[in-house]
Amino acid sequence: MTITLTNLAVKLTDSLTADIAPLCLETGQHTVITGLNGSGKSVLAAVLAGQGKVQHGERLIEGTVGWVSIAQQQAIVAAERSKDDADILDVLPTPSSARDIIFQDTAAPSDRQVSELNRLSKMFGIHRLLERDFIALSSGETRKVLLVRQLLRKPDWLVLDEPFDGLDAQTAETFSALLNDIRQDCTIIMVVNRQSEIPCWAQRLLFVQAGKLAWQVHAEQLNQEALQPLQQMLHIQQSVTSLPEKDVSRCAPTLADPHAPLVKLRNGKVAWGDNIVFEALDWTINPGEHWQIIGPNGSGKTCLLTLITGDNPLCYSNDLNVFGFQRGNGESIWQIKQYLGIVSNSFHLQYRVNCSALDVVCSGFYDSIGLYQSPTEQQRKLAMQWLETIALGEHVHTTFQSLSYGDQRLLLIARAMVKHPSLLILDEPCNGLDDINRHKVLAMLDLVARTGDTTLLYVNHHSEDNIPSISRCLDMRDYQPRR
């Protein structure tokens, strides 16, 4: 069996048509697609997975294809959220459970599929989540659900776009071993940003640049020797020595007591019905005390951060003081957000306004999704400096939705930092970034931690993504309920 693309143009969205050079992949030839942010890696993967409408040329796919991607994840989340509009039609919306999503388009699961679901869900640690609403799961948990869904279908070709993003270290290791096991039964095509995630058992590497297949490697194994050309090309030192200054009219306000805690949580607890996410958490964040928050998927890392941001209604039932405000005493959400900068998978999903790259950065001055006020000339100047810092200066007028996921992520990082917040919340900020941009962002964040007035809260699942200036660690495993 083969996947063959011949002089192909495919319309993927109303604004995106991809022209793909001739390409033929053979069954059993496991392939890795890589490249810099915005190069077209995910576009090529989507085309190979059969997505989009062929405008001209030919796409021949022999066999069945399974596909897991960030775009697919976003589409399912958006569809679930749209059910909230059902009250317009006088219909009570019924959210889909994780099990519903897994067996979507399956009329009646077979005994084999049910048995295999039990095995895979335990392997991925989601067996207790199958009856929960899909929309209520964390980003890492939703990714696991979609991976299980495709594995159950046992496709001939399995196309995985950044499959390890959002997975904790243990799950990533388990999944990597699983891919090694199933590669005898299906052909794996994988998009990766990190060299460390390239499996040695793959035999072909496609490097995409500016929407074109720039070069490729064929080898019995993609070992260190085979990857040497890629390593040489990406060996670029990222030195960040300064960041744009703050705009005094639109920066985080000065706290009444500069020595008082930014956040103080007493006996913190998050529970949904009988499901206790974490409990008995006492935590104080003082100015200049940078924290890394660790723990497996579902341990409550994101829940904890949303308590602080006010995006979790349980912030009002906890004894929580944020920036001098005791939550639940009449303070507004905007009084809290003026001190915050936020980067997260959830916020990325919410940022659906299709304004220009410059306006995305400027929106950080006003804590808005989209820009609804006219920024000053000084703010536009500073936003341009941030675009240059993240190497997106040439995209000043490019719309947000037309950029790659990685470039969107860079914009949201700049947006979060533009007002020099008192507290910068970073929930897996490097998801979607190539190695070069990842090192640059980590260097920027370390510079902020060392030299600025911003305190960092940092969540990530990759040990190599450490920020040297962060010395404190909160392990959410210490606050799990006893089962």
pLDDT at 235: 56
Task: Give me Rg for the CA atoms of the chain.
Answer: 23
Do 267 and 432 form a contact (C-beta atoms < 8 A)? no
Do 427 and 344 form a contact (C-beta atoms < 8 A)? yes
Name the residue with tokens 């295999």: 116
pLDDT at 107: 79
Distance CA 473, CA 475 (A): 6
pTM over 0.85: no
Residues 6 or more apart in contact with residue 111 via CB below 8 angstroms = none
**DSSP E strand stretches across 371-476:** 423-427, 455-459, 472-475
The whole-number mean pLDDT for each consecutive block of 10 residues of the chain, a chain of 483 residues, reads 92 85 92 89 92 92 92 85 62 81 87 91 90 86 90 93 87 89 93 88 89 82 74 60 85 84 94 87 94 90 91 88 88 87 90 92 94 93 93 92 89 94 93 84 88 90 86 93 72
All domains of the chain, ordered by start, with CATH? 2-234 (3.40.50.300), 263-479 (3.40.50.300)
Distance CA 3, CA 24 (A): 6
Q: Which residues of 237-254 are buried (b: 16+ CB within 10 A; e: fewer)?
A: eeebeebbebbeebbbee
Characterize the bridge pairing of strands 204-209 and 212-218: antiparallel
Q: Which residues of 101-139 are buried (b: 16+ CB within 10 A; e: fewer)?
A: bbbeeeeeeeeebeebbeebbebbbbeebbebbbbebbb
C-alpha dihedral sign at 22, 28, 29, 34 = positive
C-alpha dihedral sign at 460, 466, 467, 471 = positive
pLDDT at 398: 94
pLDDT at 105: 81
